[in-house]
Structure 1
Amino acid sequence: MNLTQYVDQLRQELAVAAEAGGQEARALAERLTAPLESAARLTLLNALSAAAEEITSDLAPGSVDVRLRGLDPEFVVTPPPSAEPFDAEAEYAALMAVKPPAPPASEVPDEGGTARINLRLPAHVKARVEEAASRDGLSVNAWLVRAVSAALDQPGSGPGATGGRREARGFGGGFTGWVR
């Protein structure tokens, strides 16, 4: 969205108002328009952000964000998830070429306490996880619990399995990892 036309319109309105005050007022208005341009842009951005916030509250769980690119804002609209049913089992199986995932975390029996871990993901993987969780109507945490549970329930997975494990010994030590 180009704010220049609105700032120029404000400048023109200030000049028209200054005409009524005579030559001194006109000169003062001309000197004030340059410093007021950034203040006018900031005020317009604040108004646009407030409008986007109001729209987001009506659109929830979708959202509208205002992002600044250079001097001009742009709107980013994230629509609410589609109302059509999503076959998570088929999608997961197609993407991962493995057995369907374990039932959602809400259906997994609670075995007592929970533990907290920090998980660092590459940005592109995090975006895919968030997208998949959103499609399934789950929080990222619930989706990750379900995915880990599904991976652990697969035969031949986990630390005690040797099916996919490869070890390499070389100069200065060894390397251990999992290969698909």
Structure 2
Amino acid sequence: MNLTPYVDQLRQELAVAAEAGGEDARAVAERLIAPLESATRLTMLNVLSAAMDEITRDLAPGSVDVRLRGGDPDFVVTPPPVSEAFEAPVMEVPVARPAPAPAPDAEEGGTARINLRLPTHLKAQAEEAAAAEGLSVNAWLVRTVADALKAGDASRQTAHRGAQGAGHSFTGWAR
């Protein structure tokens, strides 16, 4: 997506507004145009990124990512997996796999951006796992973290109940 037409339009609007203020306002506007161009591009990129976060939440398990290419944003859309047409059932042995955590709701709060540094081999494994599930790496990481936290809560609750001495079992020697 080329941002230049939008930046040019903002530049023209600033020039028109400065004309109304006279010669001094026009001189100030001309000095502000160059610094405002980079600030405008950055602001537009932030708006697009926030919009993509909202779209990804609604599109889950699909996703939309914004990537910067040569100063302009590029959109990468990963659609949700398409269910196949109904065919005769095939007998399969079910594999015990926990249900994925639901996508976070918009009411749970906004999204936060973090930088995650992974060793190259872990990044490759995460990309493969995400692709196998038909998810973007970001969506896969969000679900994996949510699953881990959910499992962590369950193990903490189990440990807490055991610490209360709920009479589960006793070990030792008796005569």
What TM-score, normalized by structure 2, do the two folds share?
A: 0.55
Task: Summarize deviations over 1:41-60 as a string: whole Å, max 9, x none.
Answer: 01111111111112112111
Q: In the alignment, which of 90, 105, 108 is matched to residue 96 of structure 2?
A: 105
Hey, what's the Cα distance between the residues in 2 that align with 1:47 and 1:130? 26
- Name the CA shift for 1:106/1:36 in 2 (closer, same or farther; >3 Å): closer
Higher strand fraction (1 or 2): 1
Task: Summarize deviations over 1:60-110 as a string: whole Å, max 9, x none.
Answer: 1111111111210011111011122699xx9xxxxxxxxxx9742349xxx
Hey, what's the Cα distance between the residues in 2 that align with 1:21 and 1:28? 10
Partner of 1:82: 82
Equivalent residue runs for 1:94-173 within 5 Å: 103-106=94-97, 121=121, 127-134=127-134
Hey, what's the Cα distance between the residues in 2 that align with 1:37 and 1:76? 25
Partner of 2:111: none
- Name the CA shift for 1:61/1:126 in 2 (closer, same or farther; >3 Å): closer
Partner of 1:69: 69
**Structure 1 unpaired stretches of 5+:** 91-100, 108-118, 141-180
SS of the aligned residue for 1:76 comes to strand
Q: CA deviation at 1:24?
A: 1.0
**Structure 2 unpaired stretches of 5+:** 99-118, 142-175
- Name the CA shift for 1:86/1:103 in 2 (closer, same or farther; >3 Å): farther
**Equivalent residue pairs, number:** 114
Higher relative contact order (CA 8 A, sep 6+): 2
Alignment-mate amino acid for residue 105 of structure 1 = A
For the aligned residues, what is the CA RMSD?
Answer: 3.3
Higher helix fraction (1 or 2): 2
4+ residue segments displaced more than 6 Å:
none
SS of the aligned residue for 2:10 comes to helix
Q: CA deviation at 1:124?
A: 5.5
Partner of 2:23: 23
Q: CA deviation at 1:126?
A: 5.2
Partner of 1:52: 52
Partner of 1:150: none
- Name the CA shift for 1:86/1:38 in 2 (closer, same or farther; >3 Å): farther
Hey, what's the Cα distance between the residues in 1 that align with 2:6 and 2:134? 38
